[in-house]
């Protein structure tokens, strides 16, 4: 019965189940849409059952497909374990994709990961921006840096670091409008902030938490864009101290406007024994925690770190 069974078909099926669309699976696998569709059709013909149902512009597994997804995941984990066990000791091979919010990704990981790339030249490292609706369990990424600790899911969850945020402004802006002395001085001043419907989490709506009278006159989807806007004098803005510390901005009312949040490192429980995942996750955790000081606000210096 297994003589005419092509195990490679399973790989194309599983990637499609994870991606939700044949075109996305094809892009991940580096092949054509037709190639993916052909493998799935061959698998369906072999088992004489439909494995996917159309769902809007994508596909969802049928009951039979859902059963196959669970078994295919086990096959993938076994294959990963074989590679780990048989590869030379102390060496790591394969791709690891890390997803992170733009602030942490641009200011921290983009500087740390090249060091790991030099240490582990056989690893293929990918750093991608992570959307709020990322699907770690569908392998959009292998490791995710999150602004919130998930309340459920078969995930390894490790707290990375606490980070402080303060209200900042460009000196040129303050020279023109005058530095506010109390919170009551803030309404009427220009503010920079997030686009409401694109917030990762409501907890990032800092401006409304500072004072109900604040009007955000310049909105951007990323914290890097907000930092650039604050530097350019578009308004005052709440920024992570680890990003503002190297920028030409100054803190405003740092005792009255103070926030602290945390970052979490997440990866699938199924990948707990995958050596390359453990290596990358361990490196990120250790390198970040070794730099804890840059994430905190230093009142003596008037800025972070």
In the chain, pLDDT over 90 holds for what percent of residues?
A: 54
- Higher-scoring residue by pLDDT: 288, 134: 288
Mean pLDDT of the chain: 87
Report the alpha-carbon distance of residue 124 to residue 14 in Å, rounded: 21
pLDDT attached to residue 127: 94
Render pLDDT for 38-76 as a digit per residue (tens, 0 to 9): 989 999 888 899 999 888 778 889 999 888 988 888 887
Are the beta carbons of 234 and 220 closer than 8 angstroms?
Answer: no
Whether residue 305 is predicted with pLDDT greater than 60 in this model: the reply is: no
Are the beta carbons of 181 and 297 closer than 8 angstroms?
Answer: no
Give the closest residue to 276 by CA, choosing from 143, 129, 131: 143
pLDDT attached to residue 292: 94
pTM of the model: 0.76
Highest mean pLDDT among 4-8, 38-42, 71-75, 184-188: 184-188
pLDDT attached to residue 135: 57
**Mean pLDDT, residues 236-241 taken together:** 98
Q: Count of alpha carbons within 13 Å of 238, Cβ hemisphere only?
A: 23
- Higher-scoring residue by pLDDT: 139, 26: 26
**Mean pLDDT, residues 162-189 taken together:** 96
Angle between helices 22-29 and 7-19 (to 10 degrees): 120
Whether residue 140 is predicted with pLDDT greater than 90 in this model: the reply is: no
Query: What structural domains and CATH numbers belong to the chain?
Result: 7-86 (1.10.10.10), 94-160+263-291 (3.40.190.10), 162-261+297-304 (3.40.190.10)
Report the alpha-carbon distance of residue 9 to residue 44 in Å, rounded: 10
Are the beta carbons of 267 and 144 closer than 8 angstroms?
Answer: yes
pLDDT attached to residue 261: 94
User: What is the phi/psi pair of residue 164, to 5°?
Assistant: -95, 150
């Amino acid at each position: 019965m297994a003589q005419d069974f092509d195990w490679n078909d399973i790989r194309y099926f599983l990637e499609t189940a994870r991606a939700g669309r044949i075109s996305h699976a094809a892009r991940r696998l580096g092949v054509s849409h037709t190639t993916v569709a052909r493998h799935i059709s061959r698998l369906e013909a072999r088992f004489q059952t439909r494995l996917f149902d159309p769902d809007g512009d994508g596909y969802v597994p049928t009951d039979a497909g859902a059963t196959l997804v669970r078994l295919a995941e086990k096959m993938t984990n076994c294959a990963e374990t074989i590679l780990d066990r048989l590869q030379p000791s102390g060496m790591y091979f394969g791709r690891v994709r890390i997803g992170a919010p733009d602030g942490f990704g641009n200011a921290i990981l983009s500087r740390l990961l090249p060091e790991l790339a030099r240490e582990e030249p056989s690893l293929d490292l990918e750093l991608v921006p992570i959307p709020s609706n990322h699907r770690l369990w569908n392998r959009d990424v292998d490791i995710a840096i999150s602004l919130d600790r998930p309340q459920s899911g078969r995930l390894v969850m490790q707290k990375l670091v606490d980070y402080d945020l303060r209200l900042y402004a460009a000196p040129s802006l303050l020279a023109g409008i005058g530095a506010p002395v109390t919170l009551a001085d803030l309404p009427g001043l220009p503010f920079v902030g997030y686009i409401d419907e694109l917030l990762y989490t409501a907890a990032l709506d800092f401006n409304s938490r500072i004072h109900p009278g604040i009007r955000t006159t310049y909105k951007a989807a990323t914290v890097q864009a907000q930092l650039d806007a604050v530097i350019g004098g578009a308004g005052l803005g709440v920024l992570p101290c680890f990003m503002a510390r190297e920028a030409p901005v100054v803190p405003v009312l740092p005792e009255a406007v103070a926030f602290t949040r945390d970052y979490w490192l997440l990866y699938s429980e199924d990948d707990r024994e995958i050596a390359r995942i453990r290596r990358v996750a361990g490196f990120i955790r250790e390198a970040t925690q070794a730099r804890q000081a840059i994430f905190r606000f230093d009142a003596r210096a008037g800025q972070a770190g």
